[in-house]
Amino acid sequence: MGSIPITRSTFSLFPVLNDSNPKEEPPAVRTPLDRVLDFLESFWKSRKQSDGIYHRLIRWCRLGVIILNVSYLLALCLVLLLLEFYGERNLTLCLLLYLPPQGWLLPLAALVPINLLIHPRWALVAPVSALIVIGIYMDWQWRNWETPEGSSLVVMSNNVGQNNKQSMRPFMADVNPSIVVLQEAGRKGAFERDYPDWNVDAHGEFTLLSRHPILEVRPINEALYEDQTVAVRFLIEWENQKIAIYNTHFPSPRDQLKALAGKPLALGLIGFGPLKEKRIAYHESWLARVETADALAAIVSSDPLPSLLVGDLNFPNHGAGYHRASEHLTDCFEEKGRGFGFTFPGTSRNPLTGFGPWMRIDYIFCNSKWNTLKAVSEKDRTSQHRAISASLELSP
């Protein structure tokens, strides 16, 4: 008899040898990584489903990107509007007013890559923001310069304090002024020796060099800042008539700004105890600066002679102080300048500003009896202040 082949069915004939109830294997333990991988798999497969989690997540991300961009643009516009028209009336805005405006574009470093990755259309927020900050707030100017029809007066101004031993003569040679208005000078004898062909006169730190006769010098006591003289009126004979040059220099707010940037400010703004008194004192000081600018500009505007307000006002061309002055007088650079006209600081270590200045705090304002032909600022000098110049003619 032949041998019987043994197969799996063979054991079914022998219940004893066949384990009809084998033990079930325990389910495999699922780790968090397994769950993540399962989610990613289902997420990837849901791409083909319009209402799947993939498309829902994309919609949420795009909505989030839109909210981020709109919030940034609204916050940017709100802050710049407050700086422009409210400025020194709030201590926090006082500090922000003197910071490099290019810093308001820093959030774009994060927003632009996010926009390109999730919602490319919103990448347009970058040029729009740049236009708002650089083109509008930083006040880029492009004006055609006029040729004088008759005699023109070229005026130059410079705060020569802390000039890093950098001469203003190269700029003088470029603009060829007939009147040079200086602040933080106060060395009449030295200027008389250095400029023997010029008429030189001074009062305190205020000095004036003129190709024309200087008839009178007097301080303006009708507009003082905390009992300090901030302007001196020089009466000059030009083209057989008298003109008035108001040489001005407002005290630097440097110490106040350092105090505002410190820890006491944060507590002082809340207003506890003696810190509240300090906050009130700082606030009143800034408001006094604005009121003095307003009073001085009104004096120059009402002068019966063709008059100029020239010098270092120590506030940027934004904020309440500037707008008070420009309500009475014409800013020559705003009228006929090119570029930004930045004058301070002459050099910096800030890469955002190209290691150069980011504020225009030196001005030439004129009353209604003048017509501005041209206004320029010094292009490159490592002194604390860069010089400015304007060409003017009498209005017909």
Q: pLDDT, tens digit, for every residue of 283-311?
A: 899 999 999 999 999 999 999 999 999 99
> pLDDT by residue (tens digit) across 61-99?
889 999 999 999 999 999 999 999 999 998 889 999 999
Higher pLDDT, 252 or 382: 252
Query: What kind and span of H or E run contains 246?
Result: strand 241-249
> pLDDT by residue (tens digit) across 10-69?
444 444 445 555 556 666 666 777 677 766 666 666 666 666 666 677 788 889 999 999
Rounded CA-CA distance 3/96 in Å is: 102
Q: Token digits for 158?
A: 């410079």
Handedness of CA 324, 330, 335, 341 (dihedral sign): negative
Beta carbons within 8 Å of 286's beta carbon, 6+ residues apart: 88, 89, 91, 94, 253, 256
Segment among 205-209, 329-333, 336-340, 343-347 with least mean pLDDT:
343-347
pLDDT at 20: 52
- For the chain, domains (ranges, CATH) are 48-137 (no CATH), 143-394 (3.60.10.10)
Contact present, 183 and 247 (Cβ < 8 Å) = yes
Contact present, 317 and 331 (Cβ < 8 Å) = yes
Characterize 126-157 residue by residue with b for buried, 16 or more Cβ atoms within 10 angstroms of its Cβ, and e for exposed.
beebeebbbeebbbeeeeeeeeeeeebbbbbb
Residue 1: pLDDT band with limits 50, 70, 90: very low
Say whether pLDDT at 7 is over 80. no
What does the pLDDT average to over 251-256? 90
Please, which contacts does 276-285 make with residues 24 or more away whose CB atoms are closer than 8 Å? 279/91, 282/91, 282/256, 283/91, 285/226, 285/256
Torsion angles phi and psi, residue 276, rounded to 5 = -65, -40
Q: 47-61, 234-248, 270-284, 375-389: which has the highest mean pLDDT?
A: 234-248
Is 299 in a helix, a strand, or coil?
helix
pLDDT at 44: 63
Say whether pLDDT at 104 is over 90. yes
Composition of the chain by helix, strand, coil, percent to 5: 45, 20, 35
CA 238, distance to chain mean position in Å, is 38
pLDDT at 280: 84
pLDDT at 49: 64
> pLDDT by residue (tens digit) across 128-155?
999 999 999 998 888 778 777 778 999 9
Residue 329: pLDDT band with limits 50, 70, 90: very high
Segment among 16-30, 157-171, 201-215, 334-348 with least mean pLDDT:
16-30
Rounded CA-CA distance 255/272 in Å is: 22
In the chain, % of residues over pLDDT 70: 84
Q: Token digits for 33?
A: 């990584």
Unique residue bearing structure tokens 């860069």: 386
Residue 179: pLDDT band with limits 50, 70, 90: very high
Q: Token digits for 332?
A: 């020559």
Rounded CA-CA distance 173/285 in Å is: 39
